[in-house]
């Protein structure tokens, strides 16, 4: 992964009473002074990861003494890394769970964008849209043939993100209600892998971030509304989740400045250019 640099910093640390984890650094993002390089480590959601990499490139161009290293691992890893202070920032493409806040009340959530979750199919499929109820039935494994939702007879193949994925967690909250994603679903570790699976598998259906939509898959209308930024803004397309960055306590130093850049005009222009929705 581009800009995925292994961070090796040996520091003596003190375990603070009440802290959720053992910190690796003192002040966030303040590992160097003067003209030395300051490193910010960012870990977590594979949905937020490409955005974070673009933010880092843009910010380093105007602040060459700042090095932002970005790596994936999933939303749960991102929240845990922030809570345990093994990374300066955790990325999460879902709401932060109550249990995560209870485990570490010190974490602070910074919403940097919004993202729709699109249901997509293999482009050769003859079905253009389904209802929310039908979507729930398909992903739960209760509807197994395309003829049951107005298409030509053929087996439905469901693909899904793995457990711990922020995209999956948000999809389950927004679409599945009390139902569970079928145990027969093909599991993949990233939005990109899901897109490839759908594009190459006849009769396949899955869910991906808006930022990964392209002509290799076919977006499905839900209750008559296609997954577009315009339909999200009008409220007709309801499957929308926040993209978050998480810190242990209020950010300071270089971390605070980088987050300010992301939430500013230049950072939000990157959000829009990549197909996401500004905060």
Digit-coded pLDDT (tens) for 62-99: 999 999 999 999 999 999 999 999 999 999 999 999 99
155 Cβ contact list (under 8 Å, min separation 6) = 144, 145, 146, 203
Rounded CA separation 219/130 (Å)? 11
Q: Which domains does the chain have, with CATH numbers?
A: 38-114+241-278 (3.40.190.10), 115-240 (3.40.190.10)
> Distance between CA atoms of 159 and 171, rounded to whole angstroms?
13
pLDDT tier at 38, thresholds 50, 70, 90? very high
Res. 110: pLDDT tops 60: yes
C-beta of residue 47 within 8 angstroms of C-beta of residue 77: no
Specify the pTM.
Answer: 0.77
> Residue 206 has which token pair?
């899955």
Beta strands in 19-128 (DSSP E): 38-44, 66-73, 89-92, 107-121
Write the pLDDT tens digit of every residue in 118-171: 999 999 999 999 999 999 999 999 999 999 999 999 999 999 999 889 999 999
pLDDT at 29: 59
Average pLDDT over residues 27-37: 58
Q: Say yes or no to pLDDT of 4 above 80.
A: no
């Amino acid at each position: 992964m581009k800009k995925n640099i292994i961070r090796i910093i040996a520091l003596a640390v003190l375990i603070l009473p009440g802290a959720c984890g053992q910190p690796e650094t003192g002040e966030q993002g303040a590992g160097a002074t003067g003209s030395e390089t300051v490193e910010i480590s960012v870990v977590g959601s594979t949905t937020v990861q490409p955005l974070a990499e673009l933010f880092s490139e843009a910010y380093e161009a105007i602040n060459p003494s700042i090095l932002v290293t970005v790596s994936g691992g999933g939303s749960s890893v991102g929240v845990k890394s922030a809570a345990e202070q093994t990374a300066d920032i955790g990325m999460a493409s879902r709401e932060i769970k109550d249990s995560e806040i209870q485990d570490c009340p010190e974490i602070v959530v910074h919403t940097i964008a919004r993202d729709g979750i699109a249901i997509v199919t293999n482009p050769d499929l003859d079905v253009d849209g389904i209802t929310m109820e039908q979507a729930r039935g398909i992903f739960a494994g209760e509807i197994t043939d395309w003829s049951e939702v107005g298409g030509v007879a053929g087996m439905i193949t469901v693909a899904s993100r793995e457990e711990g994925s922020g995209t999956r967690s948000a999809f389950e909250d927004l679409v599945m209600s009390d139902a569970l994603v079928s145990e027969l679903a093909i599991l993949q570790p990233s939005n990109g892998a899901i897109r490839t699976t759908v594009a190459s598998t006849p009769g396949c259906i899955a869910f991906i971030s808006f930022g990964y939509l392209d002509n290799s898959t076919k977006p499905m209308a839900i209750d008559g509304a296609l997954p577009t930024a315009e339909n999200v803004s009008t409220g007709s397309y309801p499957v929308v989740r926040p993209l978050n960055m998480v810190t242990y306590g209020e950010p300071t130093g270089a971390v605070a400045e980088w987050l300010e850049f992301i939430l500013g005009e230049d950072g939000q222009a990157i959000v829009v250019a990549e197909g996401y929705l500004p905060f």
